[in-house]
Amino acid sequence: MRVRRRHLTPLTLLILGFTLGVLTLHDLVTSDPRDVEGILARLTDRQLCWRSEKYYIAEPCDKCSDEDVRRNADLCLLTGYIQRVVCEASGYAWISCQAQEWEEELRFWAFEASAAVVGVMGGLSLAVQRHTRHNYRIPLASDGFHCLPGIIV
């Protein structure tokens, strides 16, 4: 498919506008205000034992699974991560926790690597395309009759 130059600017603006629209829509959908005090008010005293009792961590902080979301929707809503703790008097409870730093860093570097691979592949394909176009010359009618490339009859 060949794109003419006069179509290139509107096409670029269309792609840019679509990208900005998707990013804005994503921001609006995911940036809901989290009412921390309201969520904590809905929890029972047993679920909030970690605020008043000594506790220790039973399971490390992990991303909320579908089961966790069904069981502890309010806690998963806060950060998207949940951690199981054991309170001294009340027993097991769940706490909302922050994402592990290394997980966020891993996602960042995976994105950077994929962007680099796409950029290199695009650059290489462009270089190959330009190289093949430069070496392949289509004979013009004014060049005479060609039976083989480079041989004029």
Q: pLDDT tens per residue, the chain (153 residues)?
A: 565 666 667 777 888 888 888 777 766 655 454 677 777 777 777 788 888 889 999 988 888 888 888 888 888 888 888 899 999 888 888 888 887 777 778 888 999 999 999 999 998 998 888 877 766 665 555 555 555 565 555
Joined tokens for residue 142:
């004014």
**Extents of the domains making up the chain:** 1-31, 36-99, 100-153
DSSP labels, 43-87: S-TTTTHHHHS-EEESS--EE--HHHHHH-HHHHHHHSEEEEEEE
Q: In angstroms, what CA-CA distances link 124 with 13, 85, 110, 112, 117?
A: 25, 52, 21, 18, 10
Tell me how far the alpha carbon of residue 86 is from its chain's centroid: 34
Say which CATH architecture domain 36-99 belongs to: 2-Layer Sandwich (3.30)
pTM of the predicted protein model: 0.46
